[in-house]
Amino acid sequence: VHEQPLRLGIIGAGKLGMTLARVAVEAALEVRLSGSGDVEQLAYMARLLSPGARATTTREVATDADVVVLAVPFHRFRQLAPGLLDGKVVVDAMDYWAPTDGALPDLSASSGTPTPWSKPGSPERGSCAR
């Protein structure tokens, strides 16, 4: 039986996103990756650091994946388009640490606070794992 490989989308091409992309390609997943910069430049980096992963836009990563990993810095989370991941299975790899994310007024709790993804009543619809 030949199953389609799982399509993994990774949003965020930093230390975590790029490393995960490499490991996922090695595990024979179909990997799409997006970052905050230019897609061409990301493709250039991916050819060296995670060969086999396809660099594309965040919109396409969200549309074309079975599972989406959120690997952007926490303080960038709100720059993603609202509703982008509606109905998706999302793996949330973000954590709030005040020392690196700055003091965010609506997250007064201490470091290590889960992101809005895993909070009940999140405006986004879908399944989330952390």
Partner 1 sequence: VEIGIDNFVSEVIDPRTGEAVPPDVRMQQFLAEVVVADKSGVDTFGVGEHHHRYFLDSAPVVILAAAAALTERIRLRTAVTVLSADDPVRLFEQFATLDLVSRGRTEMVLGRGSFTEAFPLFGLDLADYDSLFEEKLGLILQLRQDAHPHWAGRHRSPLTGQGVYPRPVQERLPMWVGVGGTPSSFVRAGRLGLPLMVGIIGGDPTRFVPLIDLYRRAGASAGHPPESLQVGIHCFGFVGDTDEQAADDFWPGYLRTMTTVGRERGLPAPGRARYDAERGEHGAFFIGSPRTVARKVVALAEAVGDLSRFTMQMTNSIMSPETMHHAIELLGGEVKPLVHSMTS
At 74 the three-state DSSP class reads helix
Longest dimension (CA), the chain: 52
Q: Which residues pair with 30 in a beta bridge?
A: 7
Residues numbered 79-118 forming contacts with partner 1, rule: CB under 8 A? 79, 95, 97, 99-103, 111-112
Pick the stretch among 31-39, 58-66, 83-91, 116-124 that binds partner 1 (CB under 8 A): 31-39
Dihedral of alpha carbons 50, 52, 57, 62, sign? negative
Laid out side by side, the sheet with 126-129 consists of 54-55, 30-34, 7-11, 67-70, 88-92, 126-129
Q: C-beta of 38: minimal distance to partner 1 in Å?
A: 10
At 7 the three-state DSSP class reads strand
Which of 99/121 has CB closer to partner 1?
99
State how far the Cα of 94 lies from the Cα of 116, in Å rounded to an integer: 10
Contact between 35 and partner 1 per CB under 8 A = yes
Instruction: State which of residues 1, 48, 81, 109 lies at the interface with partner 1 (CB under 8 A).
Output: 48
Contact between 75 and partner 1 per CB under 8 A = yes
Contact between 57 and partner 1 per CB under 8 A = no
Q: C-beta of 49: minimal distance to partner 1 in Å?
A: 6
Point out which residues bind partner 1 (CB under 8 A). 13-15, 18, 35-37, 41, 44-45, 48-49, 75-76, 79, 95, 97, 99-103, 111-112
